[in-house]
Amino acid sequence: MASKLTITTTIILILLSSPSWSQASTVTEPVPTPTPWPHQFHSILVMQLNGTYQIIDLWYDWPNGRNFNIIQHQLGNVLYDLEWNNGTSFFYTLDSSRQCSSAQLEFGILRPNWLDGANYLGQRNVDGFLCNVWEKVDFIWYYEDVLTKRPVLWVFYTGREAHVMTFEVGAVLEDENWQAPVYCFESDGKKSASRPLLQPHLSSAITTERTSQRF
């Protein structure tokens, strides 16, 4: 009996002291990192803040240095927000009001890896999906589906939420749709000096809040 105990004890000690056993016992799961955005995609977002809703038709086109947000206000007008990587943005309508304003910002559109360095917060169930969650500079909380790596939800520090309804990787909007209307360039056009058309949302929100330099 004593001999059997000695053999068993010896085997256990060998296993515990072997390199493979030691490595396996100390292996930890790597901290998840956000999936970089595809260089081109189309997404439909439902925005919500304090009971106010918008639908955004988002076209992201990194190779061509442009980003387009077509914003439908609930039972209201449609605002076109056209952004270029040189910092130029146009905000306009295509209805009879012919409104247009522009801005020259210090930063262009979001980089595909704009979430690099985000702080991982763990996993949460949101909108019916199990998501990895990250926070970036106390400004935005980003939820990504664990299985598909697609974005599910953005939450800004203001409480504004962007729920991702569709996410089409590789979709590209035709070039002719990226041109701001001619009245955006007319000195006598119905431009607004106070830029009332500007609405905070995805990339514009990040840029206009002057946090892009930290991304």
Domain boundaries, the chain: 40-214
Lowest mean pLDDT among 29-33, 72-76, 170-174, 198-202: 198-202
Q: Residue 78 has which token pair?
A: 């449609």
Contacts of 118 (CB under 8 A, 6+ apart): 33, 34, 134, 135, 136, 142
**Taking 60 as the threshold, does the pLDDT of residue 192 lie above it?**
no
- Residue 87: band (very low, low, confident or very high) from pLDDT cuts 50, 70, 90: very high
Q: What is the pLDDT of residue 129?
A: 98
Note the pLDDT of residue 107.
Answer: 85
Q: How far apart are CA 112 and CA 61, in angstroms?
A: 10
Rg of the chain over Cα atoms, rounded to whole angstroms, equals 25
Rounded to an integer, the average pLDDT of 38-58 is: 96
Q: For 108-146, how does the pLDDT look when each residue is reduced to its tens digit (9 = 90+)? A: 999 999 999 999 999 999 999 999 999 999 999 999 999
**Predicted confidence (pLDDT) at residue 175 exceeds the cutoff of 70:** yes
Query: Kindly report the CA angle at 39 between 32 and 73, in degrees rounded to 5?
Result: 95
**What's the pLDDT at 105?**
87
pLDDT band per the 50, 70, 90 thresholds, residue 188: low
Please give the angle made by the CA atoms of 21, 24 and 28, to the nearest 5 degrees: 155
Q: What is the pLDDT, as a whole number, of residue 29?
A: 82
- Give 1's pLDDT tier (boundaries 50, 70, 90): low
* pLDDT for residue 174 is more than 50: yes
Model-level pTM?
A: 0.78
Q: For the chain, percent helix, then strand, then coil, each to nearest 5?
A: 20, 40, 40
* Range scoring the smallest mean pLDDT among 94-98, 103-107, 161-165, 204-208: 204-208
Q: Is the pLDDT of residue 158 over 50?
A: yes
Cα 132 from chain centroid? Answer: 13
| Domain covering 40-214 in this structure, CATH number | 2.50.20.30
pLDDT range class, residue 194, cuts 50, 70, 90: very low
Backbone angles phi, psi at 189, to 5 degrees: -70, 170
